[in-house]
């Protein structure tokens, strides 16, 4: 056995030498705010941390990371010790890794605020047809948010959450994905479902919880889901979708599908344990999962400065051995390029990728929130007007001669009419019968559930005035 181990060790050493798998030093220059991408052609290596191979356990190999910890290139390494996680160099100097770098990770960006391309930008070209569709969907999402928000304020639906300020992340990410990719959303990604063909009527049916709602009226409004569009139903608990995405991604890998799992989270969700469990799982199992974090500045009323001391979210990916990039979430072209490249890496190399999209939540957290209680109205107005992602992308499309004010007026007018009709129809539609509250829980309904159903029916019959019109037992 000892001879076998010795031969194995010699073989590994030889392979490492021949395949150049020894310690790698990658230097990063973060002294300016140019885009992260600087090569002339986009490739899967553009946004990468220094992985050296796609071998199963290569993520455990010891590699020197980019110059984020500011260590000296001339460290006195005495020898290497073989630990279970891989060889580790030793030094006689007691030196702690800094808590964070003095320079923040730069943000990949393509479009200026005035809609012009930043010179020497590197991004995936977008055709006129795709650009126009992206803008139309972003504008539609704006109108949809306005109509449903007003419907809640009128007492016609119980709850709503807008995507105001984050429309580019919604639509640009959706445009970069394949319909076969499985999406596990949080609750600000209706634009992904809109892009995949979910109709305005289907959105309205879910918000009103009527008999045509796929969730049978059991979910809160804006908790959409669609098997047909590979869009898993939204759930309220924060970050639970991340470990689920890890499992979905690993399943896709085992089935050798040409697809990945894509999951969304807000900056507040990264404070949950499920965030860390999900990232660690996919890193170790090398599952094709793209994590997209909308760092919008606020977790309800908790500012990012009160959530973490690290440089945002992007550095957390590196800590788990996951390729990561920070992107301007208000720049539709940058989001599209980053997500498209991340998706290619996840599928072709069967590895996870983390994207931190820097943005701002212009709207209230939900209709149950008043954000002016914890942030200045001027701040909200600045992001709404001066940093608006829809306006920025519109300027670029208009500058290309692909869009006009006549197109704008017609689109918004028609969309508003369609939405109002959808709301009126959904509101008049019958609700789900009471029995649906108890179905689909068990294969065979247990006795205690039958008793609860019978008791509730009797209560409704005794006090019908306490229940809305059209409520069927």
Beta strand pairing call for 298-299 and 86-91: unpaired
Q: Which residues contact 443 (CB under 8 A, 6 or more apart)?
A: none
Tell the CATH topology of 128-428: Rossmann fold (3.40.50)
Is 71 a known active-site residue? no
Distances (CA, A) of 323 to 55, 178, 311, 352, 362: 15, 20, 16, 7, 29
**Contact indicator for 85, 51 with CB cutoff of 8 Å:** no
Choose the catalytic residue: 22, 158, 178, 236. Answer: 236
Side-chain-side CA neighbours of 433 within 13 Å: the count stands at 5
Can you read off the two tokens belonging to residue 164?
A: 């105001």
Calculated CA dihedral for residues 211, 214, 217, 223, nearest 10 degrees: -150
Asked about 386 being catalytic, the answer comes back as: no
Closest by CA to 238, choosing from 267, 281, 205, 259, is 267
Based on the residue annotation, tell me whether 32 is a catalytic residue of this protein.
no
Helix (H), strand (E) at residue 289: strand 289-295
Catalytic residue among 150, 180, 410, 458: 150
**236 carries an active-site annotation:** yes
CB atoms inside a 10 Å sphere around CB 100:
13
CA distance 361 to 162: 9
pLDDT for position 447: 96
Structure tokens at 439: 């179905």
Is residue 328 a contact partner of residue 109, using CB atoms and an 8 Å limit?
Answer: yes
* Residue among 227, 233, 231, 215 nearest 439 (CA): 215
State the residue for tokens 């479902």: 193
- DSSP per residue over 191-237, as a string? HHHHHTT--HHHHHHHHHTBTT-TTTT-S-TT---BTTTTBPPP-SS
Residue 65: predicted pLDDT: 40
The Cα 5–Cα 306 span in angstroms is 51
- Structure tokens that stand for 388 in this block: 């608006």
Rounded to whole angstroms, how far apart are CA atoms 181 and 190?
Answer: 16
pLDDT at 12: 39
Counting beta carbons within 10 angstroms of the beta carbon of residue 69, is it exposed (0 to 12), middle (13 to 18) or buried (19 or more)? middle
Q: For residue 197, give both structure tokens.
A: 């063909």
- Using DSSP's 3-state secondary structure scheme, residue 91 falls into strand
| Order of strands across the sheet that contains 323-328 | 182-184, 261-266, 289-295, 353-358, 323-328
Cα separation, 344 vs 322, in Å, equals 15
pLDDT per residue of the chain (473 residues) written in tens, 0 to 9: 444 444 444 443 443 444 343 332 233 333 333 334 433 344 433 433 333 334 343 433 334 444 444 444 445 557 899 999 889 999 989 999 888 888 999 999 999 999 999 999 999 999 999 999 999 999 999 999 999 999 999 999 999 999 999 999 999 999 999 999 999 999 999 999 999 999 999 999 999 999 999 999 999 999 999 999 999 999 999 999 999 999 999 999 999 999 999 999 999 999 999 999 999 999 999 999 999 999 999 999 999 999 999 999 999 999 999 999 999 999 999 999 999 999 999 999 999 999 999 999 999 999 999 999 999 999 999 999 999 999 999 999 999 999 999 999 999 999 999 999 999 999 999 988 888 889 888 999 999 999 999 999 999 889 988 887 667 77
What are the angstrom distances between the C-alpha of 284 and each of 50, 84, 322, 328?
16, 14, 10, 28
Q: What is the bridge-based pairing of β-strands 323-328 and 302-303?
A: unpaired
Cα radius of gyration rounded to whole Å, the chain: 25
From 121, 337, 341, 366, active-site residue:
366
Instruction: Kindly report the backbone phi and psi dihedral angles of residue 276, in degrees, each rounded to the nearest multiple of 5, phi listed first.
Output: -70, -40
State residue 116's pLDDT score: 97
> What are the structure tokens assigned to 35, written together?
């885009």
Rounded Cα gap, residues 90 and 93, in angstroms: 9
Catalytic residue among 173, 341, 365, 371: 365
- Per-residue pLDDT at 178: 98
* Residue 463: φ, ψ to 5°: -130, 60
Sign of the dihedral defined by the CA atoms of residues 361, 362, 363, 369, in that order: positive
Q: Are 132 and 397 in contact (CB under 8 A)?
A: yes
Q: Are 352 and 250 in contact (CB under 8 A)?
A: no
């Amino acid at each position: 056995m000892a001879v076998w181990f010795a031969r194995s060790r010699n073989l590994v050493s030889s392979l490492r030498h021949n395949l150049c798998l020894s310690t790698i030093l990658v230097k990063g220059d973060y002294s300016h705010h140019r885009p992260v991408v600087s090569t002339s052609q986009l490739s899967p290596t553009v946004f990468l941390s220094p992985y050296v191979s796609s071998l199963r356990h290569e993520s455990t190999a010891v590699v020197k990371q980019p110059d984020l910890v500011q260590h000296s290139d001339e460290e006195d390494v005495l020898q290497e010790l073989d630990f279970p996680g891989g060889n580790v160099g030793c030094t006689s100097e007691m030196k702690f890794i800094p808590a964070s770098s003095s320079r923040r990770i730069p943000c990949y960006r393509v479009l200026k605020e005035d809609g012009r391309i930043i010179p020497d930008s590197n991004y995936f070209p977008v055709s006129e047809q795709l650009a126009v569709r992206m803008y139309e969907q972003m504008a539609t999402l704006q109108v949809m948010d306005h109509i449903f928000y007003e419907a809640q304020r009128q007492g016609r639906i119980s709850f709503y959450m807008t995507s105001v300020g984050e429309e580019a992340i919604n639509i640009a990410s959706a445009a970069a994905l394949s319909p076969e990719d499985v999406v596990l959303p949080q609750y600000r990604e209706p634009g992904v479902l809109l892009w995949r063909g979910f109709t305005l009527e289907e959105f309205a049916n879910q918000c009103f919880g009527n008999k045509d709602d796929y969730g049978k009226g059991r979910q809160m409004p804006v908790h959409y889901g669609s098997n047909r569009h590979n869009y898993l139903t939204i759930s309220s608990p924060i970050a639970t979708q991340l470990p689920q995405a890890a499992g979905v991604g690993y399943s896709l890998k085992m089935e050798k599908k040409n697809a990945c799992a894509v999951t969304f989270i807000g900056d507040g969700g990264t404070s949950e344990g499920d965030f860390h469990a999900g990232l660690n799982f996919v890193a170790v199992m090398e599952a094709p999962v793209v994590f997209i974090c909308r760092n919008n500045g606020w977790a309800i009323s908790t500012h990012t400065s009160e959530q973490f001391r690290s440089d945002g979210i992007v550095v957390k990916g590196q800590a788990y051995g996951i390729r990561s990039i920070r992107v301007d979430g208000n720049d539709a072209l940058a989001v599209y390029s980053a997500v498209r490249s991340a998706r290619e890496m996840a599928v072709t190399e069967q590895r996870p990728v983390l994207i931190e999209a820097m943005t701002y939540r212009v709207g209230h957290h939900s209709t149950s929130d008043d954000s002016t209680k914890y942030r200045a109205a001027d701040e909200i107005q600045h992001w709404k007007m001066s940093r608006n992602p829809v306006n920025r992308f519109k300027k670029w499309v208009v500058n290309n001669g692909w869009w006009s004010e006549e197109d704008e007026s017609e689109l918004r007018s028609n969309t508003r009419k369609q939405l109002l009709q959808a709301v009126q129809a959904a509101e008049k539609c019958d609700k789900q019968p009471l029995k649906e509250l108890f179905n689909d829980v068990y294969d065979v309904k247990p006795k205690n559930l039958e008793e609860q159903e019978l008791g509730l029916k009797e209560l409704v019959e005794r006090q019908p005035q306490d229940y809305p019109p059209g409520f069927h037992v």
